[in-house]
């Protein structure tokens, strides 16, 4: 979770929303969604909003399949994945669209696993600001969830100007009545601290902070994940990792392709905002923070915030 955003506004208790439900399991439990399958009475439904887009196709669905392949999703029939967007598509068309990107070279039984996984994937076409269309989605989700406890996750893979429309409709018309409801928000979280705080205030009209997961996909990269292990578990590096021994730190970001489809986004938002204030600052914080009391998410977050405040970044 992005701590700077989290701390950008004074937490307030949001008004209770119709059909809304507060979180019922902790962040740690959430990390292993497969744990939910131990309880035969619960299901997880993941709705990827903006399913027709680039991010969904290239990253989210392959990642969901990888989770399924590694048994990190509840067993089949205890999870459902819905794509939601305005484009008209059938379930089969959605599956065909995702398939090529998901079919990476996993180990054995990949195609069987893929068949099982795709059978749990469905599509619902709707407008982002239509409560009616989210009510229709809710009905479809219920058909798959049956009478079990339903836990629902909405992944916002859409441009930021429609985040709030979706959160409003999803929380009013399609949130879980008996389990948790959570929302994953993709960057950018606003274009400056004022708009970031405004976004957080907007989200909190419908959700409490524990329901909001701001994602920075750089933190999932192997190299970045290994940074903490390298720093804190390596007897050679650990004592040397300080200002006494390190004079200069450079973070170099390079891509081997051009602007491609990002021209409009870069013009209005900027390359620095695209990469630096999120991905690269997260890495710098991981690099510069003091040793956290544990490698739990909240403890690392706390140390990253301290490191940033000390550097006045
Ligand atoms: N692509 C990437 O690698 C990354 C993207 N992100 C962020 O994730 C989000 C999604 O990215 P990406 O998939 O590339 O974006 P897209 O531009 O592909 O948009 C996703 C979907 O949203 C709908 N959409 C697009 N523009 C509008 C609009 N103006 N009004 C309403 N709906 C619209 C379209 O679906 P339909 O027309 O079917 O409704 C589209 O398929 C963005 O916030 C982006 O900044 C973050 C990290 C990396
Ligand atoms: O968030 C973004 O990241 C990608 C780079 O990430 P990668 O995992 O594909 O290396 C960047 O190309 C994109 O512009 C930016 O929005």
pLDDT digits (tens, 9 = 90+) for 186-204: 888 888 889 999 999 999 9
Catalytic amino acids? 279
Q: Is the CB of 274 under 6 A from ligand 2?
A: yes
The domains located in the chain, with CATH, are 3-215 (3.40.50.720), 219-310 (no CATH)
Taking phi first (over 0 means left), then psi (-120 to 50 degrees means alpha), and beta for anything else, what does residue 300 get?
alpha
Ligand found nearest the CA of 268:
1
Q: What angle, rounded to 10 degrees, do the helices at 193-203 and 163-173 form?
A: 10
pLDDT digits (tens, 9 = 90+) for 100-140: 776 655 567 788 888 899 999 999 999 999 999 999 999 99
Probe ligand 1: pick from 56, 158, 217, max atoms within 8 Å of CB? 158
**Distance (Å, rounded) from C-alpha 73 to C-alpha 45?**
10
**Distance (Å, rounded) from C-alpha 160 to C-alpha 70?**
31
Q: What is the pLDDT of residue 263?
A: 86
Q: What is the mean pLDDT of the chain?
A: 84
pLDDT digits (tens, 9 = 90+) for 138-159: 999 999 999 999 999 999 999 8
Task: Note the pTM of the prediction, 2 decimals.
Answer: 0.84
Q: Are 80 and 116 in contact (CB under 8 A)?
A: no
Q: What is the pLDDT of residue 269?
A: 82
């Amino acid at each position: 979770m992005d701590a700077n955003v989290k701390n950008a506004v004074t937490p307030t208790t949001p008004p209770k929303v119709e059909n809304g439900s507060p979180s019922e399991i902790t962040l740690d439990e959430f990390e292993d969604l497969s744990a939910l399958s131990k309880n035969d009475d619960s299901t997880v439904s993941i709705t990827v909003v903006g399913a027709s887009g680039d991010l969904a196709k290239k990253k989210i669905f392959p990642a969901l399949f990888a989770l399924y392949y590694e048994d990190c999703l509840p067993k089949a029939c205890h999870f459902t994945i819905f794509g939601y967007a305005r484009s008209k598509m059938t379930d089969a068309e959605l599956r065909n669209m995702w398939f090529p990107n998901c079919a990476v070279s996993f180990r054995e039984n990949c195609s069987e696993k893929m068949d099982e996984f795709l059978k749990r994937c469905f599509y619902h076409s709707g407008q982002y600001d239509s409560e009616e269309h989210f009510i229709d989605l809710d009905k479809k989700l219920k058909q798959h969830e049956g009478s079990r406890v339903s836990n629902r996750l909405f992944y916002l893979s859409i441009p930021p100007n429609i985040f709030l429309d979706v959160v409003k409709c999803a929380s009013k018309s399609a949130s879980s009545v008996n389990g948790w409801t959570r929302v994953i928000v993709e960057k950018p979280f606003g274009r400056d601290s004022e708009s970031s705080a405004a976004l957080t205030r907007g989200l909190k009209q419908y959700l409490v902070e524990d329901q909001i997961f701001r994602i920075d996909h750089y933190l999932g990269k192997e190299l970045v994940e290994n940074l903490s292990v390298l720093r804190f578990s390596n007897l050679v590096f650990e004592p040397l990792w300080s200002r006494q021994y390190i004079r200069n730190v450079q973070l170099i970001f390079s891509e081997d392709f051009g602007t491609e489809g990002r021209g409009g986004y870069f013009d209005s938002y900027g390359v620095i905002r695209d990469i630096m204030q999120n991905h690269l600052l997260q890495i710098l914080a991981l690099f510069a923070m003091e040793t956290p009391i544990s490698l739990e998410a909240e403890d690392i977050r706390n140390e990253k915030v301290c490191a940033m405040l000390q550097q006045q970044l």
